Amino acid sequence: MNDHQNPAADDVRMRGFARRHTVDAAIAWLDDQLQPLGAELLPLPTTAGRVLAGSIASEVDVPGFDRATMDGYAVVAESTEGASPYNSLPLTLIGDSLPGRPFQGRVGPGQAVRIMTGAPLPLGCDAVLPAEWAEPSAACEAESPQAEPDAPGGRCVRALAAMSPGKHVGRRGEDVTRGTTLLQRGRLLRPQDLGLLSSIGVGDVHVIRRPRVRLVVTGNELLPSGSLPHGHRIVDANGPMLAALVERDGGLVDFTGLVPDEHDAILDALHAAADVVIVSGGSSVGIEDLAPTLLAKHGDLAIHGIAMRPSSPTGLGRIEHRLVFLLPGNPVSCLCAYDFFAGRAIRALGGRTKTWPYRPIRATLTRKLSSTIGRLDYARVRVIEGAVEPLAIGGASVLSSTTRADGFVVVPADSEGFAAGADVEVWLYA
């Protein structure tokens, strides 16, 4: 697209915005651009927190055999019928079944096999007599001539309780049944998911690729993070903040340091090897705000200027295959614009939900929260004993307002605000 085909390519510096887009219109344009990225195959242990690229069904039963759920004695349930502490019944010990070392024979009526939790249930058995309901004894030797001479703790065992068929037995497939779909495409993998996948023999997993995000923080007045502010120079706050936000939302951060407010430096950054480019600073209409003009000339500046406070100078567009977000340099504006637009895109590209990763609650306002019809407002608030205290709507450069806040309230564009005592939705930062 050349300049005369794209009216947005006109240099808007020092002219102001011809119009401001609604937040809904900006999100609608953005959502039309979003599809999850392709898949990559990774070793299972590295996939916690990643998004499944395809559903996974089990090819096996788990467990693959009937097993004991308690330490004790594998028995034929019928052989314990009528057993009690006052009427113990003798059972002949004929061997052991241990985890990974099953008993090889078959168990008949009146016989028992010592068994440990998780060990395979021997053939012929249908119940496990817990150790606390059994009493090893040599006194039943005469009653049990087939008793095993070397059985530790006596050559037989006396049952002190009756067991029903299936008692204390874990059946084959009770955890996972062969053919069952365990995890659906799009699932954000949790540690327990990795354990389940490992139990069915999965070694590698197809997950959606994490979006590569190039951070471009501009401003000749900025000093690198870790510096001490001095004179008329300030320290970059947006770089560390954005990097943490991108990581939170599943992106891979490429942030190599500050970029000077120079034509070639910003243009090179816009062409970075990335899926998403986020420019912080230089997004408005000032004489040094180069990014909007460069994006309009070399790509597509689809949205520039949004009816919201803070973050009104935000821009959205594309350059070749990359999504580009022009975020204001003021830190609160940067945070707000990231959450509304850039974070939404990064999550969606990585296969995650587009919605905010913040927990909403309902609470009551302690005082009026005023707004202007036609503009969405992002109000920082505190929540004290279930009541909501507004802190700020303006103050785009006062980043401490977000650290003092517990969360934020969104005042929609069609509202003049909320009266004291109104029930509002608060999105909690943590």
Q: Which amino acid is at 15?
A: R
Per-residue pLDDT band at 284 (split at 50, 70, 90): confident
Q: Is 14 exposed, middle or buried (0-12, 13-18, 19+ CB in 10 A)?
A: exposed
Per-residue pLDDT band at 428 (split at 50, 70, 90): very high
The answer to whether residue 309 scores a pLDDT higher than 90 is yes
At 347, list the tokens.
């999550």
291-298 vs 263-270: helix axis angle to the nearest 10?
A: 50
The answer to whether residue 142 scores a pLDDT higher than 50 is no
Q: What is the arithmetic mean of pLDDT over 298-324?
A: 96
Fold of 67-170: Molybdopterin biosynthesis moeA protein; domain 3 (2.170.190)
Residue 18: its pLDDT value, please? Answer: 65
* Lowest mean per-residue pLDDT among 80-89, 139-148, 232-241: 139-148
User: Which of 2.20.25.90, 1.20.970.10, 3.10.350.10, 2.40.340.10 would CATH assign to domain 359-428?
Assistant: 2.40.340.10
* Range(s) within the chain of domains with CATH label 3.90.105.10: 48-63+176-207
Within a 10 A sphere around the Cβ of 250, how many other Cβ atoms? 23
Kindly list the distances between the CA atom of residue 423 and the CA atoms of 355, 369, 386, 427, in Å, as whole numbers in the listed order.
Answer: 22, 12, 11, 13
Per-residue pLDDT band at 283 (split at 50, 70, 90): confident
How far apart, in whole angstroms, are the C-alpha atoms of residue 78 and residue 127? 9
* Range(s) within the chain of domains with CATH label 2.170.190.11: 67-170
Q: Which amino acid is at 175?
A: D
Residue pair 245/345 in contact (Cβ under 8 Å)? The answer is: no
> What rounded mean pLDDT belongs to the chain?
91
How far apart, in whole angstroms, are the C-alpha atoms of residue 202 and residue 43? 9
Fold of 48-63+176-207: Molybdopterin biosynthesis moea protein, domain 2 (3.90.105)
Residue 140: its pLDDT value, please? Answer: 57
pTM of the shown model:
0.84
- pLDDT digit string, tens, across residues 332-360: 999 999 999 999 999 999 999 999 999 99
The answer to whether residue 294 scores a pLDDT higher than 80 is yes
The residues that bridge with 376 in the sheet, in sequence order, are: 308
Q: What is the arithmetic mean of pLDDT over 151-174?
A: 87
Per-residue burial over 40-50, b if 16 or more Cβ lie within 10 Å, else e, is eeeebeebeeb
Per-residue pLDDT band at 15 (split at 50, 70, 90): low
* Range(s) within the chain of domains with CATH label 2.40.340.10: 359-428
In the CATH scheme, what is the code of domain 3-38+209-349?
3.40.980.10
- pLDDT digit string, tens, across residues 123-136: 999 999 999 999 98
Per-residue burial over 206-222, b if 16 or more Cβ lie within 10 Å, else e, is bbbbbbbbbbbbbbeeb
Residue whose token pair is 């954000």: 188
Q: How far apart are the first and last CA of the chain?
A: 43
Residue 138: its pLDDT value, please? Answer: 67
The answer to whether residue 198 scores a pLDDT higher than 90 is yes
Residue 17: its pLDDT value, please? Answer: 62
Among 249, 243, 247, residue whose Cα is nearest residue 215: 243
69: left (phi over 0), alpha (psi -120 to 50) or beta: alpha
Residue 118: its pLDDT value, please? Answer: 95
Q: Which amino acid is at 11?
A: D
The answer to whether residue 278 scores a pLDDT higher than 60 is yes
Residue 144: its pLDDT value, please? Answer: 45
Residue 189 backbone phi and psi in degrees, to 5: -70, 130
* Range(s) within the chain of domains with CATH label 3.40.980.10: 3-38+209-349
Residue pair 303/26 in contact (Cβ under 8 Å)? The answer is: yes
Query: For the sheet containing 72-75, what is the strand order?
Result: 127-130, 72-75, 111-115, 89-97, 156-159, 134-137
